[in-house]
Amino acid sequence: MVESPTVFRYFWIFGLVNNVLFVVILSAAADIVGPNLPKSLILLVDILPSFAVKLSAPFFIHKVPHRRRIMLLILLSCVGMILVSGRKLSVCIGGIILASLSSGLGEITFLQLTHYHQQPSLNGWSSGTGGAGLLGSGVYMLLTSILKVPVGISLLLFSVLPFAFLLYFRLDAQSSYQPIEDRNVESTQPCTSSHDSLPGNYKATSKWMALKNHIDTTLTRLRSLFIPYMLPLSTVYLFEYLINQAVSPTLLFPLDGDHTHPFFFNKYRDIYVTYGTLYQLGVFISRSSGSFIRIKRLYLLSVLQGLNLAVALCQSWFYIVHSVYPVMLLIFFEGLLGGASYVHTFMNIIHDVDPSEREFTLGAVSMSDSFGTLLAAFTGIALEPKLCSHQVNTGRNWCLQE
């Protein structure tokens, strides 16, 4: 049995590497699409493939061995980031799709593995995913806004990180749990052999009936998870990614000498990148809180995040506050709520769900944050241009500048 501190470290690294590319791509959204396209376009491409994987995974993922998943994660992530660094929009989108597929598969895989390693692994994973946000957005801001490294080179540097997934094989060699693929082989082998002597048409009918029963059973299990876990997590992510990708690109302030702002705000895109870093700082802090507190009332986080969205929309539309610093504080608080919703949703599953259902639940509920983010992407494609157009009509044309 692997010791808890070691498990925590391994899963911290897995969480960081799995999420860092998603964060970097969103941080680079303004650089990829420029000022004339909505940033939610990148969010949509970055989340839709991941959501598709998570949505379909409950029906097939138990058939794919963990070792094959890890090798696929490395291939998809590395190739994806190499393509993203090319800077041509069509090539970038292809790379983002590959990286998104990897992110979705990785989250399902490692959340299911926390079933075997319990709370130390979940604490490590959650904290690592928060660290990914801080590292990804912070390093990207450092490279592009402060050190002035070209965007393409900055993105290419992140393509080597996925090789850290190879640490899984060391963890697997030290662990005593029985891999999911082995258990499936054992449980299905007798059933397969008993059908060998049956007529072909009967076997085909039997397979279709088994498939239908599997789908019906899976949908029933998913419905029982909707109210307590999936709905609150989805709404939190809907609200926060509307802020991040649709509203925050319009939460801008003049950069002339008559206004106070951080020294590295040389372009308007620097404000957007800074918001992303502050958001990820909040996420990192709250996702690392699983060892200290436990929040059971998940809907409270949804309500608070909805209020954050309302305040951000009012600021964008009416320009109430004329200083960037209160807005930076709002973005930080938004990150705290988002990270807390994630870690405490899965913490509640670890503590409250029957062990026989826990592995399925951990993987299935992971689609909730992606679903909320996907809704935010579709909504944001229309919302950001609307906010920007209103600002231009009222004499604030900063959203059209780089």
Average pLDDT over residues 146-167: 93
pLDDT of residue 190: 40
Which pLDDT band holds residue 169 (cuts at 50, 70, 90)?
very high
Which pLDDT band holds residue 183 (cuts at 50, 70, 90)?
very low
Nearest of 179, 208, 203 to residue 191 by alpha carbon: 203
Residue 377 covered by a domain: yes
pLDDT of residue 176: 61
Average pLDDT over residues 278-284: 90
Average pLDDT over residues 169-182: 66
Which pLDDT band holds residue 383 (cuts at 50, 70, 90)?
very high
How does pLDDT run across 33-71, given as a tens digit for each residue?
877 788 888 989 999 999 999 999 888 888 889 899 999
Q: Cβ of 15: how many Cβ atoms within 10 Å? A: 27
* Token pair recorded at residue 207: 């397979």
* 4-8, 162-166, 271-275, 285-289: which is most confident: 162-166
CA distance readout (Å), 135 to 111, 115, 155, 328: 21, 27, 13, 18
Which pLDDT band holds residue 263 (cuts at 50, 70, 90)?
low
Residue 217 covered by a domain: no
pLDDT of residue 8: 92
Between these two residues, 244 and 133, which has the higher pLDDT value?
Answer: 244
Which pLDDT band holds residue 193 (cuts at 50, 70, 90)?
very low
Residue 216 covered by a domain: no
pLDDT of residue 110: 93
Residue 331 covered by a domain: yes
Residue 186 covered by a domain: no
Q: State how many domains the chain has.
A: 1
pLDDT of residue 199: 59
Query: According to DSSP H, which parts of 226-323 are helical?
Result: 231-242, 268-287, 298-318
pLDDT of residue 204: 63
Average pLDDT over residues 312-318: 97
Residue 133 covered by a domain: yes
pLDDT of residue 189: 40
pLDDT of residue 342: 92
Residue 209 covered by a domain: no
Average pLDDT over residues 13-22: 94
Q: What share of the chain is helix, strand, coil (3-state, %, to 5)?
A: 80, 0, 20
Per-residue DSSP letter, 12: H
The overall average pLDDT reported for the chain is: 87
The percent of residues above 70 in pLDDT, for the chain, comes to 91
Residue 231 has pLDDT above 50, yes or no: yes
Range of the domain at 370: 4-177+225-400
**Contact of 106 with 66, CB cutoff 8 Å:** no
Residue whose tokens read 């800074």: 274
Q: How far is it, in rounded angstroms, from Cα 48 to Cα 43? A: 8
Lowest mean pLDDT: which of 129-138, 194-203, 376-385? 194-203
How does pLDDT run across 107-122, given as a tens digit for each residue?
999 998 988 887 889 8
**Contact of 42 with 26, CB cutoff 8 Å:** yes
Which pLDDT band holds residue 30 (cuts at 50, 70, 90)?
confident
pTM of the entire predicted model: 0.78
Residue 277 covered by a domain: yes
Between these two residues, 367 and 206, which has the higher pLDDT value?
Answer: 367
Residue 185 has pLDDT above 50, yes or no: no
CATH code for the domain of 127: 1.20.1250.20
Residue 352 has pLDDT above 70, yes or no: yes
* CA 73 to chain CA mean position, Å: 15
Which pLDDT band holds residue 238 (cuts at 50, 70, 90)?
very high
Residue 325 has pLDDT above 50, yes or no: yes
CA distance readout (Å), 3 to 47, 66, 109, 174, 288: 34, 21, 21, 10, 19
pLDDT of residue 6: 87
